[in-house]
Structure 1
Amino acid sequence: MVTRRLIDWRDGIRALLALALFGLLLGHATAQDTASGPTEPLSIVGRQGRHVFAVEVMRTDADRSRGLMYRRTMAPDHGMLFDFQASAPVAMWMKNTYLPLDMLFIRADGTIAKIAADTEPLSTKVIPSNEPVLSVLELNAGTAARLRIHAGDRVEHALFERTPR
């Protein structure tokens, strides 16, 4: 009878360890789902010089809809570029987005039209471009101020090279 209890105890520990391992694997898969994807180089050129970033580019409606939702971190030199395929007035929001962001609204010629600094995480407040833009670049909040990026500065990326000026 003592032997049977010892075996049951060991089986219980094995089951708990297996459950814990499953939880870790599931958590890793979830983290992978919200981790950053492939990046492309992007530069912002202004009065303070050139600033280089690695950006994920969102080219489809599904990707643009998801954006940075559910992510908890983003490297300081990373960002997300939303390619809207054509110039038009756009509006962004922060629903399900935990990171405070700077949003740079960019015209088809690559110039920054507007900067919405330090946007509010998880907000459904609409952030309009106020004019036709081709894309929006999201950076960690405070990046534009820290690097002295301003409206009128130029964004260099393949997206703007293909756009007629």
Structure 2
Amino acid sequence: MRQAQIIVGLAGLVLAGCASGSGNWVELAGERYTVEVADDDAERARGLMFRDVLPAGQGMLFLHEEEEPQAYWMKNTRIPLDILYFDSSRKLVSQQRDVPPCTAGDRCPPYPSNAPARYVLELNAGEAAKMKLEDGTEILFGPGITVR
């Protein structure tokens, strides 16, 4: 019985370590977020569509090949979001805060960057305000995020 408890305990520690340390993450203004990475056209197009919730402490990081003006929209997105745009040097160059969900399909409005961007981070609405983000804030990518 004691051996089974030890094995269960060790398995719990291994799983906890996997959940906190081996996933993809970004750090912004001292806050760490677990992120899904969208690094191809299909993943970027799908984004966070059709989801009913984005758990606290999580987000989606979109990687683009080039730094250029970006515009994201909320087509089929059910979660209000903050859309944060970063340049090639990973500095925040534009913010679209508290973007509402949109069910209008192709009539959903775009939310453009105010400057060329290469990386886009979507978080739950209100996160940017909570962190008091200002343009120029740098985003740090965890070691699991590979940029081409």
TM-score range, shorter chain: 0.7 to 0.9
Structure 1 moving runs of 4+ over 2 Å? 158-163
Task: Report whether the alignment pairs 1:118 with 2:98.
Answer: yes
Which residue matches 2:26? Answer: 42
Task: Tell me: higher relative CO, structure 1 or 2? Use CA pairs within 8 A at least 6 residues apart.
Answer: 2
- Is 2:129 the counterpart of 1:129? no
- Specify whether residues 106 and 39 from structure 1 end up closer, same or farther in structure 2 by C-alpha distance, changes over 3 A only: same
Deviations 1:79-131 (A, max 9, x none): 00010111111110001000000000011101100110000201611111122
State the aligned residue count.
Answer: 122
- The normalised TM-score by structure 1 is 0.68
Does the Cα contact within 8 Å between 1:55 and 1:79 map onto a contact in 2? Answer: yes
Aligned residue in 2 for 1:19: none
Percent identical across equivalent pairs? 34
Question: Is the counterpart of residue 75 in structure 1 residue 63 in structure 2?
Answer: no
Q: Considering only CA atoms, is the larger Rg found in Structure 1 or Structure 2?
A: 1
**Unmatched 5+ stretches in structure 2:** 1-21
RMSD: 2.1
Does structure 1 residue 149 correspond to structure 2 residue 133? Answer: yes
Taking a change above 3 Å as real, the CA distance of residues 108 and 91 of structure 1, as seen in their structure-2 partners, is same
- TM-score by structure 2 length? 0.76
